[in-house]
Chains A and B, each alone.
Chain A
């Protein structure tokens, strides 16, 4: 941008204006969407942080004389078969769901990123060994891998995070490695090497900072995917029976009532859908912003 502005030819000025206009139009067009997505995510994160302010009832309070009430003014999402207010349960349930989502992305992203960086930067036999292992893991579908791990480790929130994280490692490793390799071959790296910088210095100061953005984008979208995988595990019965169930467990428990009280599992499902959709929209937007090819042309 700055280069374009300092250049003095008319052609460049025109091009700059035209580009800015296009970008502005594009921004406003998708802006509403993104704004909506950000609102949804912020709201759900707020639910997880201060559920007591948002939820009208306690999530464990069982109003046994008003079970399976359809949605109404008193119970926005209706009540479930225990007589709990579903809106409140969904609000409180966001805690475990988001925890699984964010924690597993942090664990999986860090581990995958580290493996990918090491593999890509070191190259040679280490690269070959790590990537072949990675390939093997990638042949197993993520949810199957997570199922196997969660099944073997037993039921706990931590194990679910671990299962989802491990299942996401191959993806992160792959993307990090390819990015590192592409940066490694750039001329500014060769210049740095020629100037006598140590490999470690080059890695920390040049290669790593320039390789992070795709990982960041992927991690953002990964939050959505992880919540989905986590909910999937809970749905399949590997979840933890806690006082306040997460969205996946709610969905699974409400399934048997689908024909008589559709609201019990619909609203947790809608919550998952909305959140995952919003996170994906934001991730998409982030990618556009961070992609040098798209923003600089």
Chain B
């Protein structure tokens, strides 16, 4: 009986493998037949004279959003949906300038401690609630209220203190300290404006019944399957980022949650969905030759994917040890091998496009294994018989922690670095774990850990490189250097843009010269879409905007 069962399992496995092989052959053949025509995909078609109204866009997401309450969310994937439902007070353009959105104008006091916003008077929430100064005050106080359990929004709102309603359409926000990042943060979707009526009514459940002022209204959310939004016919207050200032052309959008990469991309090719996000590099290369599919790409802005040394651990508190690793890791080769030329290499703790990014850092680090070895010899780590360096009987090892699953091939980066550092005589122990929260953030048991952050302002560096209160959660780098602390504090408040850019240049140079981190790649948000999809654009952080999207011509 049992033997039969195991034999059944084996034959089932044989069939499965055969099926895999066959399907692989089939799809490969299909690809060879495809025309190799080049295409312009990065220039979004603007809504011209004739735009087709109506239609439903199906858009495959890579993972499920955590919540659709912008103030409680912490996931980039949630922002893609959140952005369709909510608007912000201001908008940030790709050149980092701030323009009106729900606010028509604003004044900043001399001391930089209060911002007075004049609001649009023709805006209504999707549930009919009027948008006014009270609503704005309610929103920011809601984020500040510990009972809300606000996530990233709370961090973005710092140093906000309180609001004063001046009149129906004028609101004054008071800050504890001046902050140059504040307006940029206000433009982010996580500080989007929610309907006070709905938020009060639904409380904790607001994330499941979201209501904002955005171009689309929430319809339904089927757990791990799909989220539906429908056109907001009253919409006429779009930001400068989109050409269509009125109601969207689409009838609605259905976001389908399709975690499996191959399925997600395959469903665009087969026409099951019209668009799918996060295309793996090998598919980007293949899709470029597909005549039915177009690719949209937008580099994300903020902090690139960066490997952070934990300076609490020996010998990585020694600049020479870190520089040795910096010289031994061939980032160019990693990025080229894994991303096949579809991702750009990062050189700085900031991505290009972020205010203050210093392009002079590009090509500043070149792999030099000999020099790297000499640096380690200098501080007493000498190669032992097995090729691994040792000092006082201790082997030189590096604990590399990464999260699962292999998002953006981050696990594969670990595998390559392991091999590259072996040549230097460093034994890299790779730990792939689901529990990043405990292992990295609570216990700090890592020597090297990678992360990235989408952000609108270089002030994002503050939480990674400024020294922290001994009682607070330490930063990923554990860096504690008074000179950098001072620069980071100045960068926060400096009102002169030239001076401010100079401050961030100094910080970036310090971080690379001291090998505090290894910047790896800049993540391009990619969307594969059917050729009939037109007008998809991205905001300055790389999130998609659907206001001017139409299907067919």
- Size category, B interface: 35 or more
Are A262 and B10 also in contact (CB < 8 A) when A237-B405, A270-B17 are?
no
Contacting B333 at CB < 8 Å: which of A64, A228, A262?
A: A64
Contacting A224 at CB < 8 Å: which of B10, B23, B265, B430?
A: B10
- Nearest CB to that of A151 among chain B residues? B434
Are A259 and B412 also in contact (CB < 8 A) when A265-B20, A280-B7 are?
no
Interface segment among A91-99, A118-126, A185-193, A250-258: the answer is: A250-258
Q: How far is the CA of A175 from the CA of B337 in the complex (A)?
A: 51
Q: Report the minimum CB–CB distance from B28 to chain A (whole Å).
A: 5
Across-interface contacts of A170 in B (CB, < 8 A): 2
Contacting A81 at CB < 8 Å: which of B24, B262, B283, B337?
A: B337
Whether a CB of chain B sits under 8 angstroms from the CB of A241 is yes
Interface size on A, residues (CB 8 A): 42
Contacting A256 at CB < 8 Å: which of B3, B6, B31, B262?
A: B262
Are A228 and B9 also in contact (CB < 8 A) when A82-B337, A237-B405, A262-B24 are?
yes
Q: Dominant SS at the A interface?
A: helix
Interface segment among A19-27, A36-44, A197-205, A271-279: the answer is: A271-279
- Are B20 and A258 in contact, with the CB atoms below 8 A? yes
- Are B286 and A260 in contact, with the CB atoms below 8 A? yes
Q: Report the minimum CB–CB distance from B433 to chain A (whole Å).
A: 8
- Are A218 and B2 in contact, with the CB atoms below 8 A? yes
Q: How far is the CA of A115 from the CA of B430 in the complex (A)?
A: 39
Contacting B14 at CB < 8 Å: which of A64, A222, A255, A276?
A: A276
- Are A269 and B336 in contact, with the CB atoms below 8 A? no
- Nearest CB to that of A280 among chain B residues? B10
Q: How far is the CA of A259 from the CA of B337 in the complex (A)?
A: 18
Q: Dominant SS at the B interface?
A: helix
- Are B13 and A273 in contact, with the CB atoms below 8 A? yes
Interface segment among B319-327, B415-423, B469-477: the answer is: B415-423
Q: Report the minimum CB–CB distance from B122 to chain A (whole Å).
A: 48
Q: Which of B400-415 contact A (CB under 8 A)?
A: 404-406, 411-412, 414-415
- Are B7 and A277 in contact, with the CB atoms below 8 A? no
Across-interface contacts of B266 in A (CB, < 8 A): 259
- Are A277 and B280 in contact, with the CB atoms below 8 A? no
Across-interface contacts of B24 in A (CB, < 8 A): 258-259, 262, 265-266
Q: Report the minimum CB–CB distance from A130 to chain B (whole Å).
A: 16
Q: How far is the CA of A282 from the CA of B35 in the complex (A)?
A: 49
**Complex A-B, nearest 6 residue pairs according to Cβ-Cβ distance, in ascending order:** A262-B24, A171-B2, A269-B17, A225-B6, A260-B282, A259-B27
Contacting A241 at CB < 8 Å: which of B3, B6, B286, B415?
A: B415
Whether a CB of chain A sits under 8 angstroms from the CB of B151 is no
Across-interface contacts of B418 in A (CB, < 8 A): 243
Are A221 and B405 also in contact (CB < 8 A) when A60-B419, A82-B412, A228-B13 are?
no
